[in-house]
Amino acid sequence: MHKKIVFFDIDGTILNETNKIPSSTKQAIKQLQDNGVYVAIATGRAPFMFEHIRKELNIHSFVSFNGQYVVFEEEEVYTNPINSDELADLYQATLKHKFPIVFMNHQQMKATVPDHPFIDKSLKSLDFSYPDVDPAFYKQESIYQALLFCDEKEEKLFAKDHKALHFLRWHEYSCDIIPQGGSKAVGVKKLIEASGLNIEDTYAFGDGLNDMEMIKEIGTGVAMGNAIQELKTVADYTTDHVEKDGIAKGLKQLRLI
């Protein structure tokens, strides 16, 4: 049998609504690994934001920052930082519009302003505290993703002036910013290339807007029962809700466990 790999989104897929991993998911992933299947994470989060999940599930491969930083079996195989000139333009625009922003590399994140309620509420939804403040952080590090804090209407107006950047909303008060053309699908392809696997032996589970390209491009795409309708439309299968053993049921349907 050919070696296989399964990619899992985190929020709404591995994690339930209270940011916990259902016991059925833990058991299913362990069984998947025992069956000799590679298990990887594909997320919009930064690596330091899910290190505890990787350790708990014994996962050593991941696509992070919506495809901009990719690791296969603990080896960095692809990076796609935001262009430094674009970052400078972005920061100046946020100052003009008075939008707070958080810059992220693979190890840490820094906010441009202190004590902003949008930053506080957005990051608390991921169980993360307010980051340290360093407006010049983007000048010193490779930045793979930025978080812009504004409502959806303001984001659309802002995005019109920054065509080289791609905006992905993940919270009422925040959206991810990555290089235009970047996506989980690109990151997943880079990881698959590094693994030497065939596309027909690849699978992915997701629930959100930033999973669309990945679910379309992967060998077999699975939407969670709690996924947005648009994702269910393009997926090969729809499994049950994350709270109702969705991952375990989906893997059994695919005969991977």
Name the catalytic one among 9, 11, 207, 211. 9
Residue 77 in 3-state DSSP? strand
State pLDDT tens for residues 86-126. 999 999 999 999 999 999 999 999 999 999 999 999 999 98
pTM: 0.94
- What is the third-level CATH fold of 84-179? 3.30.1240
pLDDT at 158: 86
Give the C-alpha distances (Å, rounded to integers) separating 185 from 7, 188, 221, 239: 11, 5, 11, 20
Spell out where 55-173 has E strands: 61-64, 69-72, 75-79, 101-104, 109-111, 145-149, 165-171
CA–CA distance, 84 with 145 (Å, rounded to integer): 12
What's the maximum distance between 2 C-alpha atoms anywhere in the chain?
Answer: 57
What pLDDT digit, counting tens, does each position of 198-250 carry? 999 999 999 999 999 999 999 999 999 999 999 999 999 999 999 999 999 99
State residue 79's pLDDT score.
Answer: 98
- Known active-site residue 207: no
Q: What is the pLDDT of residue 12?
A: 96
**pLDDT for 134-178, tens place per residue?**
999 999 999 999 999 999 989 988 888 899 999 999 999 999 999
Helix axes 152-159, 84-97, angle to 10 degrees: 130
pLDDT at 156: 86
DSSP letters of 10-36?
TBTTTB-TTS---HHHHHHHHHHHHTT
Strands 69-72 and 109-111: unpaired
What does DSSP say about strands 5-8 and 202-206: parallel, antiparallel, or unpaired? Answer: parallel
Domain residue ranges of the chain, discontinuous segments joined by +: 5-79+182-253, 84-179
Q: Is the pLDDT of residue 7 over 60?
A: yes
pLDDT beyond 60 at 1:
no
- Gap between the Cα atoms of 71 and 199, Å rounded: 18
φ/ψ bin of 81: left (φ > 0), alpha (ψ from -120 to 50), beta (otherwise): beta
Q: What is the pLDDT of residues 9-64, one digit of tens each?
A: 999 999 999 999 999 999 999 999 999 999 999 999 999 999 999 999 999 999 99
The class (CATH top level) of 5-79+182-253 is: alpha beta
